[in-house]
Amino acid sequence: MNQTADESNKQIAENKKLRIRRHVVLVGLMGSGKSSVGRRLAQQLGRTFVDTDRLVEHDAHSTVREIFETSGEEEFRRLESAALRAAVESPVPSVIAAAGGVVLSETNRRILAEGTRANDLVVVWLDTSTTELAGRVKRGAHRPLLDHDPQGTLDRMANDRRALYEEVSSIVIDTDGRSIEQVATELTELLGQNGVRNV
């Protein structure tokens, strides 16, 4: 988000004129493609790409894994909520990859619902079967919850979260067997029909 206040004001004025929705928020389980599709989509729409995990790491000066290990999941969820709020409140039209667990918090779900009602956000659920996810996701890195029994964990998460992803999203895309490019292109078309334009 390296831009001057002038550029930012110009963008806000243009957004009002075009009535574009300010942000596209991608939700879904780990491995559903939020970051890779999000990056591609941001290029196609000419928007900034933001990943809430990266915001958390930047703000905490620590990796997601370190936060889980030293401060625990509860603290991570607190930081995640602050990151989501900051991303959604930014005036810069963005594509936001919201980490898989954001829907667990009622506050986060309210942030997404209010943004949607205000026509400020469009929330997209990248829906992927857990069999495909288990083949796609890499353990390690920022996914400590998948260190043990990734397939079982993803199945449990899908069970607990599907209704929540459904609750917060207005667009659902089935990503099974589809490439990043295919999903991003379908999404760009769908978003156009839903009033989201290129910046």
Options 7-15, 106-114, 141-149, 190-198: segment touching ligand S3P (CB under 6 A): 141-149
Q: Kindly tell me which residue out of 12, 18, 86, 145 binds ligand S3P, with binding defined by CB under 6 A.
A: 145
DSSP secondary structure letter of residue 184: H
Size of the site for ligand S3P (CB under 6 A): 11
State which of positions 88-117 bind ligand S3P (CB under 6 A). Answer: 99-101
Is 77 one of the binding residues for ligand S3P (CB under 6 A)? Answer: no
Strands 48-51 and 23-27, bridge-based pairing: unpaired
| Shortest distance, position 126 Cβ to ligand S3P, whole Å | 10
Buried b (16+ CB within 10 A) or exposed e, 158-196: beebeebbeebbebbbebeebebeebbbebbeebeeeeb
Asked if 23 interacts with ligand S3P (CB under 6 A), we say: no
Q: Judged by CB under 6 A, does residue 53 bind ligand S3P? A: yes
Alpha carbon distance 8, 28 (integer Å): 29
User: Amino acid identity of 139?
Assistant: R
* Residue ranges binding ligand S3P (CB under 6 A): 30, 34, 53, 64, 99-101, 142-145
